[in-house]
Structure 1
Amino acid sequence: MSAEYGERKKDERRARRDAQVELILSEFGDRVEMDPPAAARGDVRHLFRRGILLVRDGYLDQVTDTLRERARVQVEAPLVPGVTALRVEEGVVQTRDLVRRRLGEGIASLDYLVGICPGAGVYCPATEPEPVAPGAAPLPLSRDRDAGKGVRVVVIDTGLDPAAPASHPWLAGVTGDPDPAIGPGGALGPYAGHGTFVAGVLRRVAPAAEVIVRRVFTPVGAAFESDLVTALDEALTDDAPDIISMSAGTYAFEPTGLLGLGSWYQNRLRHHKGVAVVVAAGNDGAREAFWPAAAPWTFSVGALNETLDGRAWFSNFGGWVDVYTPGENLVNAYPKGTYRYNEPPSRQDAKFDGMAAWSGTSFSTPIFAGLVAARMARTGENGCTAARALLSIAQQGALFGVGAVLLP
């Protein structure tokens, strides 16, 4: 019986993964490719930009000299100081492997496709949104109306439902880029409302925080790492945040993680004192390092189950996850309209009237970001100091077999 159940769950995850990959390919087309051997095994965990290699600036001449032995190369564009995008003629995976063999690890990397909390190895929240009964109360519950006062949080996501701040009191004053997945006539795309839901969860924890939602991820919830680095750098400079909340990530071939984001930290973020970057741990129920959550310069957030006594079935885990907060069946703001379910099992379209229930480490992340904002307003600490203090408190209340836990 248990073996049959296990096989059935594997089949379900495989079907979900295939649907998600198809969605990604429908938007990115031939701009994206996947590791062919992994795809043949049915293990799609790495999607990346075709023909682009990210290279550390200090090794750029050595890399181009090495690659000219076998193919034409061209400098595409510098990213942040420290990394340059290099266009290679063909075989970007093989090219990266050649650089690794000749020059060493951590010098060149693929331009990965980063998504809003991958599930089943690709790019989706743990579940699709579900309708709720009329009048359903938003979760989590607000406790202190002044929590987060004077703190600015930038949410890097899919954008904001323009109607939400006027429709939901707890979102009043939230600003941001409009969500393009909210179509005319109330048609809701696959990841419509993701950024709005994240902002709503954050505001329930820190009602007085200033929240700006930036649209970085496309309507299918993904962006290349190089584009994400540019967007983060713009947010850091133009929005001057105290906290950046980002419910997105990917897996990587390289054990050192994402080269572009690591360089952004080294050359930009660490010079902005105290800005805390809070990121999601991912939704594969896996131990494998998920980036940038596994990077030492982020605060990574996993999800607790609905009863708050264990890890959510979907949450990634491991020593690289800093803290767990609620993430299953949260209820919050969602656009009005009709949503077409995209993943197996097939279901009828659902109508939403401004609220939804949703699960994922996507939504655990803004809970911790909101708690950091609330502590900053109370103590005067900067974002990183407040986050570390909260991690110390969370470790005191650790759950056996889970880890550090923090509740709003």
Structure 2
Amino acid sequence: DKLRTDPVLKFMVAAITFYGMSTFEGPMMSLKSVNSMSHYTNWTIGHVHSGALGWNGFLTFSMLYWMVPRLYKRELYSVKLATAHFWIGLVGIGMYVMSMWSAGVAEGLMWKEFKADGSLAYSQWTDTLPTLFPMYIVRAVGGTLFFVGLLLMVYNLIKTVQGAKVENTQASAPPMKAAATKGAFHYLLEGKPLAFTVLTTVAVAAGGAFEIIPTIAIKSNVPTIEEVKPYTPLELEGRDIYIAEGCYNCHSQMIRPFRSETVRYGDYSKPGEFVYDRPFQFGSRRIGPDLHRIGVKMPGIGGAAWHYRHMLNPRETSKGSIMPSYPWLFENKLDLSLTQNKIATFRDVFGAPYTQEEVENAVKLAETQAAEIADGLMAQKLDDIRDKKIVALIAYMLRLGTDINQGGQ
């Protein structure tokens, strides 16, 4: 009966339930057969949010509803409002998670589907988007409901703090039994903090040594590819813009060795291709297609012109795209004041084989490459972008995946 009337208990039980779901779902998604479909999809988003909102969120709500009245010695302003928060939040997170599960399974299967003639059933990335739109709307509604519930809690707790103080009452309790002089086996550790600290330190140090020593003893466990070279100064600046604009949130750079991915994107990614990516841009979600071979699929000035138009208006080049446009990249000037320092850091810290001449002439090299790209685009009657941020991003796009295409395996 208490479960029906106590909102704190409701939130606690729901949080434990979501915890159980998350801890089962996570290991299940690590299975190769499941992960091959679920990875890069919205299923992962549903899994993460069931834990973050359903488990951690509801647990936090229950603790606040229990603690605030006791800390301020007040009665909870409205039990009904707290109960309403529970049901609104539960419906909201349910809509959010289930829509992402559905979207993840749908897109995972669509990406892998082939026609009878051996071609991809959904060869254009935008072909999969109409199926996902309704689920995105459901997710937005669910997230809004969850947030509305949060606002109800904030209002309820503020009114609780502002309420009348409850007078202290005399409490009574039966006498406690004498504490046991000897505890169970676990007491041998918990009851001796110094020994426990020493043993824990030894265990952590041993585990760390098993991980760290091999990386020190072995120069590299990644096969080197002779054709893979470090980024040019302009490409490195473009990579920084790619990161700053959050492109990795929607695009991956890791083609897995599946037929569906190699047919769609090109040759699968090799470990040695990422030795100069610090940090790597594997990504964890594909709202848009993988970009690791985009430089091979769209090379030269033709590819540069496509990227120019795509960044300015994605719908012009990809009908139905949900990617935002980036007009400020065409307006903001490219800052090369730190380029030389970046190249020097990649050489001195990360071991990139830049020569001293390349370090000293980093800015000039970047300006030369930018001028080449801009001149090619101007020949196609596009604006001069030699000193704009977009030229660096285009240079980076043109480079991706091209080293291995020169013959390295």
TM-score under structure 1 length normalisation: 0.22
The answer to which structure has the higher helix fraction is: 2
TM-score under structure 2 length normalisation: 0.22
